[in-house]
Structure 1
Amino acid sequence: MLSSVLVSEHLLLAGGGHSHALLLKRWAMHPQKRPKGLITLVSSSSASLYSGMVPAYIAGLDTLNGINIDMRWLAQQAGVAFIQAEITGLNPDGTILLLNRPALPFDRLSLNVGAITKQHAFRHAIPIKPLGPALEAIAIADEEANDAAVDPFHIVGAGLAAVEVALSLRRRWPGRRLHLYIGEHQLRPSMGQRLGEAGIVIKRTTAPDTSSTLLCTGSHAPHWLAASGLPCDARGRVRTHASLQVVGHPQLLAAGDCAVIDGNQRPPSGVWAVRAAKPLARNLERLSHNQRPLSWTPQRRALQLLGCAVDRRRPSAWMLWGPFLFGPHPWLWRWKRHLDHRFLKRLQPDASMAAHSRNTTQNAAMACRGCAAKLPAAPLEQALQRCGVGQLSQQPEDAQTLGTTATNTTLLSSVDGFPALISDPWLNGRLTTLHACSDLWASGARVATAQAIVTVPAVDSSQQVTLLSQTLEGIQSALAEQGATLIGGHTMESRQASNPPMALDLQLSLSVSGCTASGQAPWRKGPIQRGDVLLLSRSLGSGVLFAAAMQGHCAPHHLDSALQQLSCSQHPRLNELLALSQQHPEAVHSCTDVTGFGLLGHLNEMVAASEAISVNLLVDQIPSFAGALECLAQGITSTLAPANRRALASLGTSVRVLREGQDISYNLEPAIEDLLIDPQTCGPLLVSCSAPAAATLQDLGWTAIARA
């Protein structure tokens, strides 16, 4: 018997499959079972589609959000760090390779990366797996679904998945010609009969290789698994022992469609992936305590329910048990829908799971992070006044001037930082750096150097190395692309207990320095000139999306889209402004960046730095991230937003809000009010310039939101 000494290690969960989803649910509901140490989930998507309900979605019976499993939220509740990245390779000795990111080290690895469709000789046809691109292709094909002259849509495959997808497409496209190519295979009589009744033509020839061909032709594991040197079967599935440990690699475990147990081969199916979750979790827990893992023998047969939703009044389903087929019957359809919804409900955000998480990670963990964690304006001003430097709050600038050089450039410096915004240390390092750099960009300066102060949690030194190195890599990724350099910094260890996920206990601050172009004076927050147009470089709403995501009320693809935009550097926007200033030296009059005090708070600073100027804010022109207004309409706000409400006092006086030429300053919808004060991380640049210059910027993608 092995000892039960606790092993502190970096456990990496690769893939967002059903086994890992259920494993996260287990650790969220029973946090005492979660292995100690750093745990990271890496998945190419923050939302995992529940495969059992995909045909119903294709048929139009479910929404995309309705079949999503929010892996980011599940990880948060389980105390697991979440990294959204595509895995491109594996070194079994201890690293996984990620697309456009540094490699990630691990001590123990669990693989649940699913499978992809075999494409055979097809090059242009659409594989059904991965599901995301396939569903997007089907949505695009909707545009010609009712065109009688359009070519048929082709489905290739003779298995259960091909039949179910074909029938679902018939319900989706009642009038489009559908061809099912089955080759030399035989269909079960009742399935062939139902396909014929649905007007789906069965073909035994070779399907055309076009973008209107959908492949349901069996699956194999991702190619990088076999390329890594792991033992794999003919389908590329990783071979494991009954303990789910990979043959020859006891530190690696695998489950789901990417794995197969030696001596207990089973076809790829969500049934076995779901059943594997408990033994996988149990053995990861035992191994973390240095205990011997237990064997698992999966059931030999799986009960499968196959939907036949072609009948719009009475959908039905088949039941398959080994070689026996029953149905189709409407009662079986109702049973399938009941089981599918019950399974998905187990993995949806709910109060009980959140309560378990708060009990272990403290209520403070629900406070907003990033720039929303900054001190509200009122106590900040009081503190500055009390210590005799109140003037710093009277005319706050984005960056401070250090002096001029012999080449007539102005040196500027700024500092910024906050508690970790997300549990991905690389992306958090990048976002924090871009946020800090925006103070210099708003002053018309290019960033040259940065120094960082990083506080890491008081955990194992090996885990500190992982967290710190990933953070520094993220910082460098943001600096290098704009020609800047990380020249030094300081590290500290927290003196507070770390709560999982420990990556959220990182704190990062940066001091950035740079200079303006020769002969160019730094841009200030004012004065705005009469006739100016004010423009934003990108959308608002990051604060509320992050707040909603913490509560499980943000659609995963909305946060993904926002993060994708926020992680893009805005130094190209600075270059656009500098090029404009070179051609028209008096074009740019003032500039700032929209951060913690929200659009209205920073706009008020610009107005206060101007003389006898009022601004007409064109409310319907203000860009916002997808999903932000919906979250605000539900009453969700960032924890800093209530303190920012004092900025609303300017509405109707120095800032008039217009809609279709009418002043609605005193009649704003609550969601619009909240958008105006939503704290932003990596927020947009807000520039005030002449009307001709504004027209040039609009052609480059800037959005005009106000006029002086």
Structure 2
Amino acid sequence: MQPDYPKTRDILLIGGGHAHALVLRKWGMKPMAGVRLRVITPSPIAPYTGMLPGAIAGHYTIDEIMIDLVRLCRFAGAEVILDKAVGLDPVAKTVTLASERQVAFDIASIDIGITSDLPQTAGFTDHGVSAKPLGGYAAKWEAFLQTAPQAPNLVIIGGGVGGVELALAQAYRMQQTGRRPTITVVDRNAQPLGNMGLKARAGMVDAMRRYGVGLHLNASPARIGADAVELSDGTRLPSDFTLSVAGSRPQDWLQDTGLDLEDGFIKVGPTLESSARDIFAVGDCAHLSHAPRPKAGVFAVREAPYLYDNLRARASGAPLRRYQPQRDYLKLASLGDKRALAEKFGLRSGGEWLWWLKDNIDERFMAKFRDYPAMPTPKLPEPHAKGLAAAMGAKPLCGGCGSKLGAGALGRALARLPQTDAERTPGDDAAVLRGPDGAQVLSTDHLRGFVSDPWRMGQLAAIHALGDVWAMGATAQLALAQIILPRLSEALAERMLGEILDGAQSVFGPAGAPLAGGHTTTGAEMVVGFAVTGTCTAPVPKRGAQVGDRLILTKPLGSGIILAAEMQNIRLRTGLLGPVWAGCIDSMARPMAADATLLAPVARAMSDVTGFGLAGHLSEMLGDGLTATLEMDALPVLNGAEKLAAQGVRSTLAPSNRAALRPEWDGPLADLLVDPQTCGGLLAAVPPTQAEATLAQLQAAHVPARIIGAVVAI
């Protein structure tokens, strides 16, 4: 097994384009010692351009054309930062994100694609759809298909190859659903398909005739309304769905980077490096100044191995490779149905066999990102002690609450502690110090790194630590950090610690609990924890539920299963893991001060659902002679968690948690009841006369709370 070398250089990939996806895959096969690789992407998935017309036509599902960037980054050992880049300082070497966060780097590459929106055209923002970014267009198209009228009007702005391909795809899909669409392609030129040769152009125009797709030339959009497009020549085209595929426009924020640009695109030379040392650019957002080429995915794919080598070369001080693009390339255009047209060097061919060829090429590309080679498990040394194999387990140790000690072993160990002056109700997670003006609660918690982004880890660890304070109805007062960093160069250690603290302060600051200091040390991996205090008049106990009380839960279940799936890089049988994981992180990242404020005045018992799962924490809330009836249909569950549970995915702590599962709670959702939660919701026992009103208040405050059951006598 490769030694865990300290990280000394930060390489940042800005964007999840095709070139970066291929670099990440190659990096996973052959990582570079000493490099921390990071990826900034606004979406956990990225569409493959070549299959978009097929997806719009219905030949592929949307999931089939998406690269799961979360799984890819896990395979590559790369940190994933789910945010959008909106600025770059090449001197300070920092990237500004839409969240206003700053991310520093030593070496960076930009692969953010282009956009085809029309911000200068009146009404486009409200009523138009841009073909790029592709993911948003595909989603809006699928939504339109659900509500489209029987004879819809569609307008495609842009008569290039991409616009005509999508017009044909939309026409085919509409016909397959039994609709009779009127589709018009609008182009400002005197003829469409200007980048194609005469023969290929004639073939595409013939396909348009077959599908009844009209052409309106020598005009551009002047105004886009909810039901029509007004053109510069005075024509008004009715439109229920207006799509822009009009050329390629660079993203606006590049203008303020100080990099040399060509019509807004980043100028790069043969090494793919920009005018600023250590900053590379590839794909459609780049302009090859030494060999200008049209915007086409084939060049991004061909640039990938050169970018991979040059990022490594710059990190190690080696010479850079030079990229020379081919003069022409095979253009394969979809014709709506399962036929395609090919052109190269002015020669044209078409037919069903070309669709088969195109589909085969696309499928081979996407296969690279579906299943990844499994890393070999190190063999145990011989001889080894009895029980070592069982202690090691068959899968990686979970992070977050999934890595905690089981309730049985923990309880037996805690039983040895002597009594103290601090009040501690059995089962409560926070100690209580009484004073003349109320009480102070004290708690501490820490987590093994379960997300690779240090800022996000600091944020989630802060929310998790405050869970005990909120569960007792207290207002946060103060926090101290306990942080273990992996071995890093001094510069990277400072950078990582700063990111963790910034993420934590984004939670502690609004909660009114200043981060007053703490302790750091170096260890085998990142561990982030906090000691927190809070104040209240009378703490809400964990045990105290009474017969008839309604049980209110304020966050959905399933985070342990989803985090385990991401750590094991498991592929969903149906769907994509990336959006499931992103949704899980979003749920975990919601603080619960509002939840506690509304629940504490009425709750007879309350706990935050964390490592021992809903079953374990609910058992602690119930006194002798009590149990609970659970409304399984009402249980809130994170998207994808049930699918992963059905595939056999379990968190490390789940088997131990099953000891708390009462027979009356067993059933199809048992795996979710014993699933350890990180940053889980509050579970409160509320008198039945106040439950519905409290639930309404929570939901009005945008807390996704539900009543999930009631306390009953055994």
TM-score by length of 1: 0.88
In structure 1, C-alpha distance between the alignment counterparts of 2:255 and 2:655, rounded to whole Å: 53
SS in 2 for 1:688: strand
Query: 622-631 or 377-386, which moves further after superposition?
Result: 377-386
Residue 675 (structure 1) aligns with: 672
In structure 2, C-alpha distance between the alignment counterparts of 1:677 and 1:82, rounded to whole Å: 28
Residue 375 (structure 1) aligns with: 405
Residue 55 (structure 1) aligns with: 53
Residue 286, structure 1, aligned to residue 313, structure 2: yes
Q: Which of 618, 626, 637 is residue 613 of structure 1 equivalent to?
A: 626
Q: 2:677 corresponds to which letter in structure 1?
A: Q
Q: Is the 8 A contact 1:155 1:213 kept in 2?
A: yes
Change (3 A) 1:365 1:293: farther
Residue 330, structure 1, aligned to residue 352, structure 2: yes
Residue 437, structure 1, aligned to residue 466, structure 2: yes
In structure 2, C-alpha distance between the alignment counterparts of 1:450 and 1:160, rounded to whole Å: 58
Q: 2:182 corresponds to which letter in structure 1?
A: R
Q: Is the 8 A contact 1:455 1:507 kept in 2?
A: yes
SS in 2 for 1:287: helix
Q: 1:627 corresponds to which letter in structure 2?
A: G
Residue 514 (structure 1) aligns with: 534
In structure 2, C-alpha distance between the alignment counterparts of 1:521 and 1:630, rounded to whole Å: 42
- CA deviation after TM superposition for structure 1 residue 42, in Å: 1.1
Q: Which of 636, 648, 652 is residue 639 of structure 1 equivalent to?
A: 652
Change (3 A) 1:297 1:358: farther
In structure 2, C-alpha distance between the alignment counterparts of 1:191 and 1:326, rounded to whole Å: 11
In structure 1, C-alpha distance between the alignment counterparts of 2:624 and 2:678, rounded to whole Å: 29
Deviations 1:538-585 (A, max 9, x none): 20001111111222325211111121121111111112224xx2xxxx
In structure 2, C-alpha distance between the alignment counterparts of 1:322 and 1:126, rounded to whole Å: 33
Q: 2:476 corresponds to which letter in structure 1?
A: V
Q: How does 1:227-266 map to 2 (within 5 A)?
A: 227-234=256-263, 236-247=264-275, 249-266=276-293
Deviations 1:334-357 (A, max 9, x none): 11111111100012233x1x3269
- CA deviation after TM superposition for structure 1 residue 592, in Å: 0.5
In structure 1, C-alpha distance between the alignment counterparts of 2:538 and 2:119, rounded to whole Å: 62
Q: Which of 678, 684, 687 is residue 687 of structure 1 equivalent to?
A: 684
Residue 3 (structure 1) aligns with: none
SS in 2 for 1:431: helix
Residue 182 (structure 1) aligns with: 187
Residue 491 (structure 1) aligns with: 520
Change (3 A) 1:575 1:384: closer
Residue 18 (structure 1) aligns with: 18
SS in 1 for 2:586: helix
Q: 1:238 corresponds to which letter in structure 2?
A: I
Q: Which of 296, 310, 317 is residue 340 of structure 2 equivalent to?
A: 317
- CA deviation after TM superposition for structure 1 residue 36, in Å: 2.3
- CA deviation after TM superposition for structure 1 residue 703, in Å: 0.4
Q: Is the 8 A contact 1:384 1:392 kept in 2?
A: no
In structure 2, C-alpha distance between the alignment counterparts of 1:110 and 1:193, rounded to whole Å: 42
Q: How does 1:104-119 map to 2 (within 5 A)?
A: 104-119=103-118
- CA deviation after TM superposition for structure 1 residue 631, in Å: 0.5
Query: 286-295 or 459-468, which moves further after superposition?
Result: 286-295
- CA deviation after TM superposition for structure 1 residue 387, in Å: 6.0
Residue 268 (structure 1) aligns with: 295
- CA deviation after TM superposition for structure 1 residue 454, in Å: 0.8
In structure 1, C-alpha distance between the alignment counterparts of 2:650 and 2:362, rounded to whole Å: 33
Q: Which of 586, 589, 594 is residue 564 of structure 1 equivalent to?
A: 586
Residue 144 (structure 1) aligns with: 147
Q: Is the 8 A contact 1:35 1:285 kept in 2?
A: no
Q: Is the 8 A contact 2:7 2:489 kept in 1?
A: no
Change (3 A) 1:387 1:686: closer
Change (3 A) 1:232 1:7: farther
Q: Is the 8 A contact 2:170 2:336 kept in 1?
A: no
Residue 552, structure 1, aligned to residue 602, structure 2: no
- CA deviation after TM superposition for structure 1 residue 299, in Å: 0.9
Q: Is the 8 A contact 1:7 1:288 kept in 2?
A: no
Residue 155 (structure 1) aligns with: 156
In structure 2, C-alpha distance between the alignment counterparts of 1:573 and 1:224, rounded to whole Å: 38
- CA deviation after TM superposition for structure 1 residue 291, in Å: 1.1
In structure 2, C-alpha distance between the alignment counterparts of 1:460 and 1:703, rounded to whole Å: 47
Change (3 A) 1:255 1:695: same
- CA deviation after TM superposition for structure 1 residue 136, in Å: 2.5
Q: 2:405 corresponds to which letter in structure 1?
A: L
Residue 601 (structure 1) aligns with: 616
In structure 2, C-alpha distance between the alignment counterparts of 1:698 and 1:358, rounded to whole Å: 51
In structure 2, C-alpha distance between the alignment counterparts of 1:399 and 1:120, rounded to whole Å: 53
Residue 526, structure 1, aligned to residue 546, structure 2: no
Q: 1:336 corresponds to which letter in structure 2?
A: K
In structure 2, C-alpha distance between the alignment counterparts of 1:372 and 1:636, rounded to whole Å: 13
Residue 706, structure 1, aligned to residue 701, structure 2: no
Residue 198 (structure 2) aligns with: none
In structure 2, C-alpha distance between the alignment counterparts of 1:237 and 1:168, rounded to whole Å: 29
- CA deviation after TM superposition for structure 1 residue 81, in Å: 1.3
Residue 34 (structure 2) aligns with: 36
Q: Is the 8 A contact 2:425 2:541 kept in 1?
A: no
Residue 537 (structure 1) aligns with: 554
Q: How does 1:461-480 map to 2 (within 5 A)?
A: 461-480=490-509
Residue 138 (structure 2) aligns with: 135
Q: Is the 8 A contact 2:400 2:448 kept in 1?
A: yes
Deviations 1:489-529 (A, max 9, x none): 111112x4xxxxxxxx211110010111xxx4211112211
In structure 1, C-alpha distance between the alignment counterparts of 2:315 and 2:403, rounded to whole Å: 34
Q: 1:346 corresponds to which letter in structure 2?
A: K
Query: 468-477 or 379-388, which moves further after superposition?
Result: 379-388
Q: Which of 454, 459, 462 is residue 425 of structure 1 equivalent to?
A: 454
Residue 403, structure 1, aligned to residue 464, structure 2: no
SS in 2 for 1:220: coil
In structure 1, C-alpha distance between the alignment counterparts of 2:394 and 2:323, rounded to whole Å: 40
Residue 103 (structure 1) aligns with: 102
Q: 1:198 corresponds to which letter in structure 2?
A: Y
Q: Is the 8 A contact 1:304 1:321 kept in 2?
A: yes
Deviations 1:203-261 (A, max 9, x none): 23444513521000111222212211100101x111111011112x1211111111122
TM-score by length of 2: 0.87
Structure 2 unmatched ranges of 5 or more: 1-5, 193-200, 227-240, 380-391, 700-704
Residue 501 (structure 1) aligns with: none
Q: Is the 8 A contact 1:102 1:470 kept in 2?
A: no
- CA deviation after TM superposition for structure 1 residue 172, in Å: 2.1
Q: Which of 434, 438, 456 is residue 485 of structure 2 equivalent to?
A: 456
Change (3 A) 1:546 1:434: same
In structure 2, C-alpha distance between the alignment counterparts of 1:576 and 1:118, rounded to whole Å: 44
Change (3 A) 1:65 1:482: same
Change (3 A) 1:156 1:349: same
SS in 1 for 2:331: strand
Query: 551-560 or 274-283, which moves further after superposition?
Result: 551-560
Structure 1 unmatched ranges of 5 or more: 1-5, 497-504, 582-586, 658-664
Query: 205-214 or 84-93, which moves further after superposition?
Result: 205-214
Residue 697, structure 1, aligned to residue 714, structure 2: no
SS in 2 for 1:288: helix
